Amino acid sequence: MWARLVAIILKELQQLRRDRLTFAMMFGVPIMQLLLFGYAIDTDPHNLPTAVVSADNTTITRTILSALQTTGYMHVTRHPASEAEASELLQTGEVQFVVTIPSDFTRRLVRGERAQILIDADATDPLAAANPLAAAKSAIEQALSRDLVGPLAPLASRPDAFDLVIQRRYNPEGKARLNIVPGLLAVILTMTMVMMTALAVTRERERGTMENLLAMPVRPIEVMVGKIVPYIAIGAVQVLVILVVSRFLFDVAVEGSLGLLGAGTALFITVNLAIGFTISTLTQNQLQAMQASFFMMLPSILLSGFMFPFRGMPVWAQWLGEGLPATHFMRIVRGVMLKGAGLGDISTELVALAAMLLIVSALAISRYRVTLD
Amino acid sequence: MALAIDVHDLVKRYGTRTVVDHVSLGIGAGRICGFLGPNGSGKTTTLRMICGLLTPDGGGGTCLGHDLVRERDAIKRQAGYMTQRFGLYEDLTIRENLEFVARVYGLDRMKGRVDQSLERLGLATRQHQLAGSLSGGWKQRLALAACVLHEPKLLLLDEPTAGVDPKARRAFWDEIHAYASEGITVLVSTHYMDEAERCHEIAYIAYGALMARGTAADIIRQSGLTAFIAQGPGADRLAPRLRDAPGVTAAAAFGTTLHVCSPDREALTRAIGPFRQDTALTWQEAEPTLEDVFIHLMGQARDNALES
């Protein structure tokens, strides 16, 4: 009995040794996950880009701004001239917060007239907005108690010396599903589209039908497009199903233009299919194609901003994330669905996707052979 | 007579290994040429170069008057290539497979052609069955039907009858002859000697080099081999003892008889001399078979390959 068992164990090890991709998967995936979960993922992101619209430049307002920054959550990156410009920055996602200090802030504070500070937050990802907003109030109070001395000292002890008005834009109730549902669109499409095309082409090779196909007068571009088109249709149906379910079960409606969302989605689907096709030209059989697709999927879930706030990741992980189509598509979907973003707001993301499509298609076509050489 | 295939000095290398080494081949239109040679001798590679699936590393020529490298598409449109492994889709029905092929070639009257093809195959009643459910022999006949759907002038068949039962093989060869009589040129690789004998002519390749060319009778005559057959009790048991005797190419048992051959008549008679003393055995000179010749050629090719 032992000899037979050993025979099978040995054979299994010998086969495993030749299957380098499986080997890479077994060690690569856990290492990748460890690194991502250990280093890259921070559910309490700091240094979030913040715009300040301040019409009142006094010692007190400066103290307040520096207090907000010392919380570690906000990092002032922009000083827009108007509130309209600030809103624009929030809309495109360039900043997470806009702090607005009205021109009469110091005057009203000194007079004891309940001065107001306004913080607008991009709350599409409630996780990223929650802690900074919670920290803001006490930070300002502490700073003021230090600054309000002498004749102003009595103000410091008044709880209503100032008013912090917080607006959670795009997702006022801070519902997680508002953020998750659009993100799921990106993840589901990545998962199915990449894998399905990768399998569709490797299946031909594995079953030996590729040789027969190549002996017939078909061009590589015809094979590539012909293989991709059916899956574009499947992807479209998937999107439709997800949108309808989101609308009626989760009450997540599309704020912006459906046409724009459709165009962005079509582009994203095409990029994914091209990636799948490229994987199929690099792998020998369906198992390898499956594993390679998995390698693509894992970072798309973890690094794209789907699972964890994008800005909570270290810079290197953000760069990796920028290289993933899902990251850009996630921004497009969240922008259009939740923020009602227009073409101008998401043009950067669309260009990024188009560039990826170009690069990946070029790679796919250069790898695909009309001959068996 | 116009040559359907006219290639010369074809070379294909994989890394440092030369798989096809300066093979030249001319086949007249309407001829059936059997392509023989041991496993790994370069038959499939040569076929693939002729039909445009592989780019030759050296040499060239024409196929149906089109340049092998530059006019690949024109060749693909006029030639039918049947792969060694079943190359159609097992998860499509018989009819769907034929329709797919018809569409790829952009054929007119698709329905009519497919119907006709199914009729000729005798698969009209099973046309909606999945191709994967067919037996080996039927799969091969379906693949052949798909190959000729676009009315090619040339058929390249790579071991089309491997693993197929004798009856199905015979049916398959009857079809090949029928196509040839319509003027289609056929280059077919095979390991079966009986199939080789059904070809108009034979090309024998070993270790990437073309070793013999001509009709079966030509090749046997030109081989210069001498063969003997021994009959009698225990004759077949002598095979292992004679096989390694100097000068003997092959010694094989066929049932209870022994078959030996050699290119060197004297060496052969010397080798069998001691056994001729045995009065129970009857020795008889015989015509060498095609198999003898091929085994002999294979040995020669190996010697050449080792020398170079």
Which of B48, B64, B155 to mutate against chain A (most A CBs within 10 Å)? B48
* Contact B52/A at CB under 8 A: yes
Q: Do B83 and A212 touch (CB under 8 A)?
A: yes
The whole-number pLDDT of residue A157 equals: 63
The whole-number pLDDT of residue A372 equals: 67
Q: What is the CATH number of domain A48-169?
A: 3.40.1710.10
* Domain spans of chain A, in order of start: 48-169, 175-367
Q: Do B73 and A217 touch (CB under 8 A)?
A: yes
The b/e string for B7-36 (b: 16+ C-beta within 10 A; e otherwise) is beebbbeeeeebbbbebebbbebbbbbbbb
Task: Express each pLDDT in A255-298 by its tens digit.
Answer: 888 899 999 999 999 899 889 988 988 888 888 888 888 888 88
Q: Among the ranges A53-67, A140-154, A294-308, B214-228, which has the highest mean pLDDT value?
A: B214-228
What's the mean pLDDT in A297-303? 85
Residues of A within 8 A of B51 (CB-CB) are 215
* Contact A221/B at CB under 8 A: no
Structure-model confidence comparison of residues B218 and A182, the more confident one: B218
Q: Do A215 and B53 touch (CB under 8 A)?
A: yes
Which of B104, B142, B148, B158 to mutate against chain A (most A CBs within 10 Å)? B104
Give the chain A residue whose CA is nearest to the CA of B84: A208
Give the chain B residue whose CA is nearest to the CA of A203: B89
The whole-number pLDDT of residue A184 equals: 86
Structure-model confidence comparison of residues B117 and A148, the more confident one: B117
**d(CA B53, nearest CA chain A) in Å:** 4
Q: By the 8 A CB rule, do A252 and A337 touch?
A: yes
What's the mean pLDDT in B83-89? 92
DSSP-assigned beta bridge partners for residue B282: B231
Whether the predicted pLDDT of B1 surpasses 60: no
Task: Express each pLDDT in B198-218 by its tens digit.
Answer: 999 999 998 888 989 999 999
Please list, in sequence order, all residues whose beta carbon lies within 8 angstroms of the beta carbon of residue A327, skipping any fewer than 6 positions away. Answer: A303, A304, A305, A310, A321
Alpha carbon of A219 to those of A226, A282, B200: distances in Å? 10, 19, 35
Residues of A within 8 A of B104 (CB-CB) are 216-218
Please list, in sequence order, all residues whose beta carbon lies within 8 angstroms of the beta carbon of residue B109, skipping any fewer than 6 positions away. Answer: none
pTM above 0.90, yes or no: no
Choose among B52, B54, B87: nearest Cβ to A212: B87
**Residue B251 main-chain phi, psi, to 5 deg:** -135, 120
In this structure, which amino acid lies at residue A161?
A
* Contact B87/A at CB under 8 A: yes
Choose among B55, B87, B90: nearest Cβ to A211: B87
Give the chain A residue whose CA is nearest to the CA of B155: A215
Residues of A within 8 A of B98 (CB-CB) are none
Please list, in sequence order, all residues whose beta carbon lies within 8 angstroms of the beta carbon of residue A196, skipping any fewer than 6 positions away. Answer: A231, A234, A276
What's the mean pLDDT in A69-83? 87
> Tokens 């299994």 identify what position?
A12
* Contact B192/A at CB under 8 A: no
- Closest by CA position to B4, among listed B153, B150, B198, B149: B153
Six token digits for residue A117: 């500070």
Six token digits for residue B180: 């040839």
Distance CA B196, CA B159 (A): 12
Q: Do A217 and B104 touch (CB under 8 A)?
A: yes
Distance CA B228, CA A99 (A): 105
Q: Which helix (H) or strand (E) holds A294?
A: helix A286-302
Give the chain B residue whose CA is nearest to the CA of A212: B87
**d(CA A232, nearest CA chain B) in Å:** 21
What's the mean pLDDT in A199-214? 87
Q: Do A217 and B105 touch (CB under 8 A)?
A: yes
Choose among A208, A215, A372: nearest Cβ to B76: A215
Distance CA A29, CA A32 (A): 5
* Domain spans of chain B, in order of start: 3-219, 226-287
The whole-number pLDDT of residue B129 equals: 93
Six token digits for residue A328: 């850009």
The whole-number pLDDT of residue A158 equals: 66
Whether the predicted pLDDT of A11 surpasses 70: yes
Distance CA A45, CA B30 (A): 77
Task: Express each pLDDT in B18-63 by its tens digit.
Answer: 899 999 999 999 999 999 998 888 999 999 999 888 999 999 999 9
In this structure, which amino acid lies at residue B178?
A
Distance CA A359, CA A240 (A): 28
Over the Cα atoms of chain A, what is R_g? 26
The whole-number pLDDT of residue A129 equals: 82
Rounded (10°) CA dihedral A320, A324, A327, A329 = 160
Estimate the crossing angle of helix A220-249 against helix A258-282, to 10 degrees.
130
The whole-number pLDDT of residue B147 equals: 93
What's the mean pLDDT in A108-113? 81
What's the mean pLDDT in B164-174? 91
The whole-number pLDDT of residue B255 equals: 87
B116 CB burial (10 A radius; 0-12, 13-18, 19+)? middle
CATH assignment of B3-219, given 3.60.15.10, 3.40.50.300, 3.10.20.600, 3.40.50.1970?
3.40.50.300
Whether the predicted pLDDT of B188 surpasses 90: yes
Q: By the 8 A CB rule, do A292 and A283 touch?
A: yes
Beta strands B201-206 and B226-231 are unpaired
Distance CA A297, CA B64 (A): 49
Whether the predicted pLDDT of A155 surpasses 70: no
Judged by average pLDDT, the poorest of A34-43, A71-80, B271-280 is A34-43
> Tokens 């003021």 identify what position?
A144
What's the mean pLDDT in B164-179? 91
Q: By the 8 A CB rule, do A192 and A275 touch?
A: no
- Closest by CA position to A41, among listed A263, A331, A364, A320: A320
Residues of B within 8 A of A213 (CB-CB) are 87
Task: Express each pLDDT in A311-359 by its tens digit.
Answer: 878 888 889 889 999 999 999 998 888 888 888 888 999 999 999 999 9
Q: Among the ranges A227-231, B102-106, B119-123, which has the highest mean pLDDT value?
A: B102-106
Domain at B226-287, CATH homologous superfamily = VP9 protein domain (3.30.70.2070)
The whole-number pLDDT of residue A142 equals: 82
- Average pLDDT value for chain A: 84
* Contact B48/A at CB under 8 A: yes
Please list, in sequence order, all residues whose beta carbon lies within 8 angstroms of the beta carbon of residue A305, skipping any fewer than 6 positions away. Answer: A125, A183, A321, A327, A330, A331
**d(CA A267, nearest CA chain B) in Å:** 28
Choose among B53, B55, B77: nearest Cβ to A214: B53
Distance CA A181, CA A175 (A): 11
- pLDDT category, B243, cuts 50, 70, 90? confident
Whether the predicted pLDDT of A305 surpasses 80: yes
Six token digits for residue A158: 């008044």
Distance CA A221, CA A274 (A): 12
* Contact B72/A at CB under 8 A: yes
Q: Do A215 and B104 touch (CB under 8 A)?
A: no
What's the mean pLDDT in B260-286? 87
The whole-number pLDDT of residue A163 equals: 82
**d(CA A288, nearest CA chain B) in Å:** 21
Whether the predicted pLDDT of A373 surpasses 70: no
- pLDDT category, A371, cuts 50, 70, 90? low
The whole-number pLDDT of residue B213 equals: 92
Contacts 24+ apart (CB under 8 A), B38-45: B38/B206, B38/B298, B41/B205, B41/B206, B41/B207, B41/B208, B42/B12, B42/B205, B42/B207, B42/B208, B43/B158, B43/B159, B43/B189, B43/B205, B44/B84, B44/B158, B44/B189, B45/B12, B45/B19, B45/B20
Task: Express each pLDDT in A323-334 by its tens digit.
Answer: 999 999 999 998
Choose among B51, B55, B89: nearest Cβ to A215: B51
Whether the predicted pLDDT of A60 surpasses 70: yes
What's the mean pLDDT in A234-239? 88
Q: Do B53 and A371 touch (CB under 8 A)?
A: yes
Six token digits for residue B267: 């060496």
The whole-number pLDDT of residue B99 equals: 95
| For chain A, the helix, strand and coil percentages under 3-state DSSP, each to the nearest 5 | 70, 10, 20
Which residues 89-128 in chain B show a CB within 8 A of chain A? Answer: 89-90, 101, 104-105
Q: By the 8 A CB rule, do A213 and A372 touch?
A: no
Which of A199, A201, A203, A211 to mutate against chain B (most B CBs within 10 Å)? A211
